[in-house]
Amino acid sequence: MDEKKPGELLRESLFSQKKNGWDTVDEATERAIFDYCDGYMDYLDEGKTERTCVEHTVELAKAAGFVPFERGMGLRPGMKIYRVNRGRAVDLAVIGSASLDQGVTICAAHIDNPRLDLKPTPLYEDGELAFLKTHYYGGLRKYQWVTIPLELRGVVAMKDGSVIKVSVGAEEGDPLFTITDLLPHLAAAQSQKKLAEAIPAENLNLLVGSRPLKDDEGADRVKLAVMKLLNERYGITEDDFLSAELEAVPAFDATDIGFDRSLIGAYGHDDRVCGYAAFKALLDLPSTPVRTAVCVLADKEEIGSVGVSGMQSQFFDTFMADLCARQNVPLRACFEKSFCLSTDVTIAYDPDYPEVFEKNNSARINYGVGICKYTGRGGKSGASDAGAETVAYLRRLLDDRKVLWQMCELGKTDVGGGGTVALYMANRNIDTIDAGVPVLSMHAPFETVSKLDCYMCYAACRAVYEG
Ligand code: MN
Ligand code: MN
């Protein structure tokens, strides 16, 4: 065998040695990756909206021995608890053996996704077709949401206090909905428009019916026939839409992508891919952790982590304060010693669009979970910018556990950017850093991720919880 040349040895010892993950994992890890992703794909299909995701998460948590945490309830190490925030977000924890004054480990993800919400007065008829008007939620590219099959999920809250669940499209044999677009033959003018302006928001109208009410000569017979069906199925009238939260979401299930099945295509990877990782890592803790492990699945990240169910809400602080009260620990003493992995997806390098990426600092598919020291845009505006010491702590943690990871930015500095819940956790005096799965076509109705990266995000969460 040839001796290695001095330059070669120097390169090995001095240059970064990051490799494609598939070149480094053993067979057992390969199996673990595919098994883990089967579970993740089921999780995606069960919870396409924040409400259904919370429901499904709670179901799985209960089956694993988690109990609802009521204020004043006694805590003991190993205890598994959760608290749901208005059906739209959930915090879960496994109580550690150490006191809460040693801080907690947190993995915080969000479970809301870009989608089309129904407007408060949505139903109308035009051209003898019935439609539901939508108001888009989050940063989506409107042209991607036309001519695809859509489901309708959500709730109608009635004045009597009852809440009616609506789910059309989830069950086999259910009808679906769609938004129409111009045919190329008549789209010459539209095709000349800017991509962002070609589909106006007010054209995002869900086609929901075309059969007029029989033996009737009044106005809006198609709309009336649709309202009659809704009344028969859900007992609602037109005014009940006023207190509803109904979301049109893509009707396709998660699926393997590629001849080699190495990728997953689905709606809602951002950010259920990290939400599932944070949650599953908590479920899979082999023993009582030293520090209490907390999984946060927040709502409203896509519109700025606002509102009562977003990460800026005091809900999280209240949950943590209620835990701390049981051990007579001030919340601020717990927070200042805590560590948070803000688990949110990052942008994967797309070779079709190299012009928006800076190659040395872009996340690559199959190189593991992407760590962002900072997100934001321009001069790091809107970032939390983790301290070098925090990055070093995470480097050691992940390397010790053989978790594959890569450091990345969100594209070229002046091209764009994005934010996560990280700054809201850091505002609480908690050391926080972003980590997540690189995504292709982020915010599209059908996003793509690598199975290896999904698994490494889970492994990173486990490393954090287990310290
Ligand atoms: Mn996200
Ligand atoms: Mn997003």
3-state SS assignment for residue 150: strand
Q: CA-to-CA distance for 74 and 327, rounded, in angstroms?
A: 9
Is residue 249 a contact partner of residue 151, using CB atoms and an 8 Å limit? yes
Q: What is the pLDDT of residue 437?
A: 98
The alpha carbon of 443 and the centre of ligand 1 are apart by a number of angstroms equal to: 9
Q: How far does the centroid of ligand 1 lie from the alpha carbon of residue 114, in Å? A: 10
- Dist. CA 331 → ligand 1 center (Å): 27
pLDDT for the residue numbered 3: 86
- Distance from the alpha carbon of residue 437 to the mean position of ligand 1, in angstroms: 10
Q: Are 105 and 465 in contact (CB under 8 A)?
A: yes
Q: 40 alpha carbon to ligand 2 midpoint, in Å? A: 18
- Nearest ligand to the C-alpha of residue 434? 1
pLDDT (tens digit, 9 = 90+) per residue, 95-129?
999 999 999 999 999 999 999 999 999 999 999 99
Distance between Cα 343 and ligand 2 center (Å): 12
Sequence-distant (6+) residues with CB within 8 A of 238 are 121, 123, 227
Q: What confidence category does residue 143 fall into, taking pLDDT thresholds of 50, 70 and 90?
A: very high
Q: What dotted CATH number matches 16-113+267-466? A: 3.40.630.10
pLDDT tens column, 42-60:
999 999 999 999 999 999 9
Domain boundaries, the chain: 16-113+267-466, 115-250
Residue 293 in 3-state DSSP?
Answer: strand
Tokens 């835990």 sit on residue: 323
**Residue 310 CA to ligand 1 centre (angstroms):** 13
**Omega prior to 271 cis, within 30 of 0:** yes
Q: From the CA of 139, how far away is ligand 2's center (Å)?
A: 7
Q: Which residues, 6 or more positions from 19, have their beta carbon under 8 angstroms from its beta carbon?
A: 367
State in Å: Cα 71 to ligand 2 middle.
33
Mean pLDDT of 256-279: 98
How much is the pLDDT for 423?
97
Nearest ligand by distance to the CA of 442: 2
Q: Where are the beta strands (DSSP E) in 252-322?
A: 255-257, 263-266, 293-298
- Ligand 1: distance of its center to the CA of 283 in Å? 22
Q: Each residue of 411-436: pLDDT tens digit?
A: 999 999 999 999 999 999 999 999 99
Find the helix packing angle between 27-46 and 269-283, rounded to 10°: 120
Predicted confidence at residue 158, as pLDDT, reads 98
pLDDT category of residue 1 using cuts at 50, 70 and 90: low
Name the residues around ion ligand 1, CB cutoff 5 A: 270-271, 344
CA of 272 to the centre of ligand 2 (A): 10
Give me ligand 2 centre to Cα 357, in Å. Answer: 18
Measure 42 CA to ligand 1 centroid, in angstroms: 20
348 CA → ligand 2 middle, Å: 13
d(CA 27, CA 338): 35
Q: How remote is the CA of residue 162 from the centroid of ligand 2, in Å?
A: 32
Ligand nearest to the CA of 344: 1
256: buried, middle or exposed (CB in 10 Å: 19+, 13-18, 0-12)?
middle
Ligand nearest to the CA of 447: 2
Rounded mean pLDDT, 246-256:
97
Q: How far is the CA of 342 from the centre of ligand 2 (A)?
A: 13
Measured between alpha carbons, how far is 305 from 352 in angstroms, rounded to an integer?
31
Q: Residue 406, SS3?
A: strand
How distant is the alpha carbon of residue 332 from its chain centre?
28
Q: Chain centroid to CA 151: how far? A: 18
CA of 344 to the centre of ligand 1 (A): 5
DSSP for 246-257, written as a single string? EEEEE-PPPEEE
Angle at 201 between CA 196 and CA 206, to 5 degrees: 125
**Cα-to-centroid distance, 53 and ligand 2 (Å):** 16
- How many angstroms is it from 370 CA to the middle of ligand 2? 15
Please, are residues 110 and 344 in contact by the beta-carbon 8 Å criterion?
Answer: yes
- Residue 113 CA to ligand 1 center (angstroms) comes to 8
CA distance 250 to 44: 12
Cross-sheet strand order for the sheet of 447-450: 255-257, 263-266, 447-450, 438-440, 346-347
Proximal ligand: closest to the CA of 421: 1
The residues near 97 (Cβ < 8 Å, ≥ 6 apart) are: 77, 288, 289, 290
**Distance in angstroms (rounded) separating the CA atoms of residues 260 and 336:** 45
Cα gap 322→253, rounded to integer Å: 38
User: Cα of 275 to ligand 1 centre, how many Å?
Assistant: 10
Separation of CA 301 and ligand 2 centre (Å):
7
Closest CA to 350 of 465, 455, 241, 448: 448
Contacts of 162 by beta carbon, 8 Å cutoff, 6+ apart: none
238 CA distance to ligand 2 middle (Å): 32
Give yes or no for residue 2 having a pLDDT over 80: no
**Of 366, 295, 272, residue with least CA distance to 95:** 295
| Paired tokens of 46 | 């069960």
Residue matched to tokens 């995504």? 439
- The alpha carbon of 125 and the centre of ligand 1 are apart by a number of angstroms equal to 36
Q: What is the Å distance from ligand 2's center to 420 Cα?
A: 8
Listed in sequence order, the DSSP H helices in 192-242 are 195-198, 221-234
User: Which one of 3.30.1540.20, 3.30.70.260, 3.40.50.980, 2.30.250.10 gives the CATH number of domain 115-250?
Assistant: 2.30.250.10
Q: What is the DSSP string of 341-393?
A: EEE--EEBP-TT-GGG--GGG-B-TTS-EEEES--EETTTBT-----HHHHHH
Closest CA to 58 of 95, 12, 91, 96: 91
Token duo for residue 197: 């302006």
Q: Which two tokens stand for residue 242?
A: 């006023």
> Which ligand has an atom closest to residue 311 CA?
1
Question: What is the Å distance from ligand 2's center to 268 Cα?
Answer: 9
Chain centroid offset of residue 243 CA: 25
User: How close is the Cα of 240 to the center of ligand 2, in Å?
Assistant: 30
